[in-house]
Each structure stands twice: as C-alpha cells, then as structure tokens.
C-alpha cells in the first residue's frame, strides 16, 4: 500500500520581518572606468519566462511631425529638460525619472531600514532557488522595480565586457570574496539596503549519481557561500608587453555577510520537466549527430521526457542500489517514479535550504511561490520588496511575467502518489514547505 500524507504543520512564507526604523548607511561605489562601456550580461542556468522591456522602440512608433510654431517651441524645451535631467547626479539617472505608474503597480517606499540591523549597508540577502524555479525573473523584476543592482555568486553571469577583457565587480570593494554585482544596466543605482544575491547552493547536478548529489548540511551551506569570479592574472615583468590574462577564482565569503534569505519554491512536477527542457537545449548544441536523430530520441514532449528519465534512471541505478545514503524505503519508491533522482534532489535541496536559513544561520526568510506571480502578482511583488526594504520606483520597467507551462499530464496518478510518498519519506521539515498543495 501507499503511504498516507501527514497534515501540514505550517508555512514559512509570506512574512515580513523587522520593524522599520532609521539606521546609518554606507554606499558602495564603482570606479568610473567600471561604470561605463558595459553591456547586458546573459544569465546562464535558467530559462527566462518573461518578456523584457523593449530597449529601442521602432522608428515608426516614435516618429512625429511638427505642424505648428507651437510644436517648434515646446519640443526643443522638452529636449533641454531631458538633457539636464540625465546629466545630473554625476551622470546617473535620477531615481525620480524612473518612477512610472501602471494600472497594476504603484510606487511604494520601503527604504526605512530595520533597527535590529546595524550598519554599514548594503547587506546580502540570498535568493535561494532550485534551478528553473523563477530565479531569473525574480532577479530582473527586483532590479527593474528598485532601479538598483542585484548580485550573484556566479561570475560568468555578472561579468563586464570591457575593451581590455572581462572582469567582475565584487559587491564590497574592500572584500574581494563578496558576491558579484550584476552590472547589466549602466544607469542603475548602487545597492543601499538588502542586495538580492543569487545562489543555487549544491546538490542539483543533472547527470550525476548519489555520491555526487547527496549533500550534508555543512557541504550544502559551503556551496551557498561559494562565489567565483573572472580576475586578471598578475603579469610578470617579462610579460608586461603581452595581453593581460584572466582566470576563474573561487572565494568563500563569511556567513555573517548574509543577513536575510528569499526562498523560491516551484511545483516539483513543473520544475523537474522545465530542467529537462533547459538541459536538453544545452546538450543539443553539443550533439555531434543530426537534429533529426536527436529529436527522434528525445522530442520536446512527454515521450522525450520519459525517454530521458529511462536513460538517466538506468544509468545511475547501480549507484542508488549500493550507496549507504539512501534508505530501503527510498530505493523502493525510486522504482515507481520517472527521473526519481531529480525528485530526490528537489526534496533534499529545499530541506537543506530550510535547515540552513532557519535552524543553522537563523536568517529572516521570505518564501516566494513561483505560481503566485500569476495568481497575485502585486501582492507577491510588494511583499518581496518590503522584505528587502526596497522602494518600487521603476514600476513601468517591471518585465511582464509569462507563466511557465504546467506539465502535470506528463505523470500518471500512480507516479504522482509515489512522489508524495517520497516527499513524506525524505522531508525532514514535517511538511513545513507545503508540498501537499502541489500533489
């Protein structure tokens, strides 16, 4: 017989921590040479389920004709005002000029910082997410709504393309081990409160066995704190005339640098299939055979998903049978679930995220459910921005949220119930994550 689900013990989400009061802040600055000649850095590792705002309007959409003396007088005056506006504040776009109201989003002020947090500011707020659960959208939404830079542990998505090579900018100038600023728009403001900082931590590899994806609390936490960036190698005297060389350097920043956490949760059935699609896009680029052969074996539908699950499950089944980290009950459930290792990774990841933030580091944590962007976007946005103490000043620049597809039809009722049993068996937080609403 199948297991029975215990009742949920509560939900850690939708809670704003801290009483707003004034506190001193210290700004982080960039050298002028690093604040220019930048271009948007493409985020790797996530699909982008949204339509970014248009940067360049069509010539036809902005064309107009002066048909009167009134137009010839007023328009030049408007141009002069815009020039003055854009050249103030040391070349940065004034925050007031970014304020735009829509029928759905209003300007909200949240920048009174909590009294329990001493300076200096800004401070790191982790964005903790299992891959393909809305990370990229949340980063873009927060950045555009606040008109402030966000950050990432991963230098490959935060580097600047300069004329003399690529370079990363640490969040804190005097702490090179700190996360990397994502300098994607040159006219945004430097962070002044909590900086949303992307981390996937560990235990989410795609093609790997149990010995690689099973994590302990400490190994998971170390990966949450791991940052790497692209840095210039020091040139030797004899190499002074040669082109500067670069390398990837790993850093581990101290845990007391992190003061808050945002934990994103997505429907596991949708999350697993979404990861399959993204992984296959990357693998297909490296495929040596024909596209027809690839699409025949792994089409982008439920058949392709099941073919992939059958391949990956059989490939790593010997490791699952022999590892000492899995119980007999979990091994038995694996036989009923397609892509069972990915479901185990998902459950383990969220378990450890809760243990690290709530039990180990005692961080104020805000839970965002991916589906709530579609159900109640305004409330989801406002609660997140309030938790981060960020003003909503760029409402018109917030990218449209386009919900990812649901994939419930990829699974049978029997498989869904087996997933529920696996959650009951592996969930160490007594259903506090509310998995029952997804099953």
CATH of the domain at 397: 3.40.50
Assess if residue 158 is contained within a domain.
yes
Assess if residue 391 is contained within a domain.
yes
**Structure tokens that stand for 88 in this block:** 């103030």
Average pLDDT value for residue range 355-365: 96
Lowest mean pLDDT among 44-58, 135-149, 189-203: 44-58
Q: What sign has the CA pseudo-torsion 131, 137, 139, 142? A: negative
pLDDT score at 435: 64
Assess if residue 317 is contained within a domain.
yes
Assess if residue 48 is contained within a domain.
no
Q: Please count the structural domains in the chain.
A: 1
Assess if residue 319 is contained within a domain.
yes
pLDDT score at 160: 66
pLDDT band at 299 (very low <50, low <70, confident <90, very high): confident
Average pLDDT value for residue range 375-379: 95
pLDDT score at 40: 32
pLDDT score at 83: 46
Distance separating alpha carbons of residues 13 and 108, to the nearest angstrom: 21
pLDDT score at 242: 56
Does the pLDDT at position 298 exceed 60?
yes
Range with the largest mean pLDDT of 50-54, 310-314, 402-406? 310-314
Q: Could you list the residue range(s) of the whole structural domain that residue 335 is in?
A: 123-233+245-432
Assess if residue 345 is contained within a domain.
yes
For every residue of 217-283, DSSP letters joined together read HHHHHHHHTEEEEEEEPPPPGGGTTSPP-EEEEEEE--GGGEEEEEEEE--HHHHHHHHHHHHHHHH
Task: Please write the tens of the pLDDT for every residue from 24-44.
Answer: 223 333 322 232 223 333 333
Task: Please write the tens of the pLDDT for every residue from 250-278.
Answer: 999 999 999 999 999 999 999 999 998 88
Does the pLDDT at position 295 exceed 90?
no
**Structure tokens that stand for 126 in this block:** 């982790």
Distance separating alpha carbons of residues 155 and 68, to the nearest angstrom: 54
Assess if residue 62 is contained within a domain.
no
Collect all residues with Cβ–Cβ distance below 8 Å to 306 and sequence separation of at least 6. 338, 410
Average pLDDT value for residue range 216-221: 96
pLDDT band at 283 (very low <50, low <70, confident <90, very high): low
pLDDT score at 234: 65
Assess if residue 18 is contained within a domain.
no
Does the pLDDT at position 364 exceed 90?
yes
Distance separating alpha carbons of residues 249 and 71, to the nearest angstrom: 57
Percent of the chain with pLDDT over 70: 62
Burial of 404 (0-12, 13-18, 19+ CB in 10 A): buried
Smallest CA-to-CA distance from 113 within 186, 234, 17 is with: 17
pLDDT band at 70 (very low <50, low <70, confident <90, very high): very low
pLDDT score at 412: 95
Task: Please write the tens of the pLDDT for every residue from 92-140.
Answer: 332 232 222 223 444 456 656 666 566 678 999 999 999 999 999 999 9
pLDDT band at 61 (very low <50, low <70, confident <90, very high): very low
Q: Would the pTM count as exceeding 0.75? A: no
């Amino acid at each position: 017989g199948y297991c029975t689900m215990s009742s949920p013990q509560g939900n850690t989400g939708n809670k704003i921590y801290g009483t707003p009061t004034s506190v001193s802040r210290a700004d982080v600055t960039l050298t002028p040479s690093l604040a220019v000649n930048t271009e948007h850095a493409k985020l790797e590792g996530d699909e982008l389920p949204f339509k970014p705002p248009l940067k360049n309007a069509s010539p036809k959409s902005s064309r107009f004709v002066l048909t009167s003396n009134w137009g010839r007088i007023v328009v030049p005056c408007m141009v002069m005002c815009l020039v003055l506006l854009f050249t103030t504040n040391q070349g940065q776009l004034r925050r007031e000029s970014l304020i735009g109201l829509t029928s759905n989003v209003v300007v909200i002020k949240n920048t009174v910082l909590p009294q329990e947090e001493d300076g200096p500011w800004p401070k790191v707020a982790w964005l903790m997410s299992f891959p393909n659960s809305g990370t990229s959208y949340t980063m873009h939404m927060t950045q555009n709504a606040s008109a402030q830079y966000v950050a990432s542990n991963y230098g490959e998505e935060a580097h600047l393309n300069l004329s003399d090579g690529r370079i990363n900018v640490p969040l804190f100038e005097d702490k090179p081990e700190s996360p990397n600023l994502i300098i994607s728009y040159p006219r945004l403001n430097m962070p002044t409160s909590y900086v949303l900082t992307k981390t996937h931590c560990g235990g989410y590899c795609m093609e790997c066995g149990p010995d690689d994806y099973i994590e302990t609390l400490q190994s998971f936490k170390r990966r949450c704190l791991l940052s790497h960036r692209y840095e210039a190698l020091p040139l030797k005297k004899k190499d002074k005339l040669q082109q500067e060389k670069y390398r990837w350097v790993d850093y581990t920043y101290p845990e007391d640098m992190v003061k808050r956490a945002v934990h994103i949760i997505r429907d596991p059935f949708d999350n697993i299939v979404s990861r399959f699609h993204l992984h296959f896009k990357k693998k297909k680029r490296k495929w040596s055979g024909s596209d027809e052969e690839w699409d025949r074996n792994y089409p982008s539908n439920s058949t392709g998903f099941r073919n992939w699950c059958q391949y990956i499950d059989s490939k790593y089944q010997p490791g699952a049978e022999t590892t000492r980290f899995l119980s007999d009950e979990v091994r038995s459930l694996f036989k009923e679930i397609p892509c069972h290792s990915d479901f185990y990774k998902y459950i383990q990841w969220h378990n450890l995220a809760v243990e690290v933030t709530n039990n180990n580091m005692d961080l104020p944590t805000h839970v965002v459910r991916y589906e709530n962007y579609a159900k109640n976007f305004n409330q989801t946005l406002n609660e997140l921005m309030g938790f981060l103490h960020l003003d909503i000043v760029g409402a018109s620049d917030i990218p449209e949220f386009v919900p990812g597809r649901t994939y419930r039809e990829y699974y049978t009722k029997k498989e869904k119930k087996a997933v529920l049993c696996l959650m009951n068996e592996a969930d160490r937080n007594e259903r506090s994550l509310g998995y029952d609403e997804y099953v």
